[in-house]
Chain A
Amino acid sequence: MIAIIGLLVGVAVGILWHPIIPLWMEPYLPIAIVAALDAVFGGFRALMEKRFDDRIFAVSFLSNVVIASFLVFLGDQLGVGAQMSTGVVVILAMRIFANAAAIRRILFKA
Chain B
Amino acid sequence: MTDDHADSVDQPTAATSSRRDLLAQLAYQPSRPHLLIGGLFLVLGLLITIVILRPSGGVEEYRSARTEDLIRILDDLDDRQARLEAESARLATLERDLLAGSTAEAIAEARRQLDALRVMTGVAPVSGPGVLVTIVDTEGQVDAGLLLDAVQELRDAGAEAIQVGQTRVVVDTWFADSEQGVLVDGAPVGDRVEIRAIGDPDTLAAAMSIPGGIAESTRTRGAEFSATTTPDLTISVTVPVTES
A residues whose Cβ falls under 8 Å from a Cβ of B: 2-11, 13-15, 18-21, 26, 29-30, 32-33, 36-37, 40, 54-55, 57-58, 61-62, 81-82
| B50 adjacent to A29 (CB under 8 Å) | yes
Cα A2 to Cα B42 with chains together (Å): 10
Q: Is the CB of A32 within 8 A of B47?
A: yes
Q: Is the interface of B mostly helix, strand, loop or mixed?
A: helix
Residues of A within 8 A of B55 (CB): 20
Complex Cα gap A24–B47 (Å): 15
In the complex, how many angstroms separate the beta carbon of A4 from the nearest chain B beta carbon?
8
Q: Is chain A's interface secondary structure helix, strand, loop, or mixed overall?
A: helix
Contact of B49 among A2, A11, A20, A55 (CB under 8 A): A11
Cross-chain contact B37 with A58 (CB below 8 angstroms)? yes
- B34 to A, closest residue via Cβ: A2
Known A2-B30, A33-B44, A81-B66: A14·B38 in contact at CB below 8 Å:
no
Are the C-beta atoms of B47 and A11 separated by less than 8 Å? Answer: no
- A51 CB, nearest partner CB in chain B, Å: 15
Contacts of A29 in B (CB 8 A): 47, 50-51
A13–B38 contact, CB under 8 A? no
Task: Taking A21-B50, A58-B33 as given, write out 20 further A-B residue pairs in contact, using a Cβ cutoff of 8 Å, ordered by the A residue number.
Answer: A2-B30, A2-B35, A5-B38, A6-B39, A6-B41, A6-B44, A7-B45, A10-B46, A11-B46, A13-B42, A14-B46, A14-B49, A18-B53, A26-B54, A30-B51, A33-B47, A33-B48, A37-B44, A54-B33, A54-B36
Residue of B nearest to A37 (CB): B44
Q: How far is the CA of A81 from the CA of B113 in the complex (A)?
A: 52
Chain B residues with Cβ below 8 Å from A9 are 38, 42, 45
Q: Which of B1-59 contact A (CB under 8 A)?
A: 30, 33-51, 53-55
Instruction: Give the CA-CA distance A19 to B34 in the complex, in Å.
Output: 26
Chain A residues with Cβ under 8 A from B43's Cβ? 10, 36
The answer to whether B38 touches A3, judged by C-beta atoms less than 8 angstroms apart, is yes
Pick the most buried of A2, A11, A32: most chain B CB atoms within 10 A of its CB. Answer: A2
Q: Does B102 contact A (CB under 8 A)?
A: no
- Tell whether, in the assembled complex, residue A10 and residue B37 are in contact, meaning their CB atoms are under 8 Å apart: no
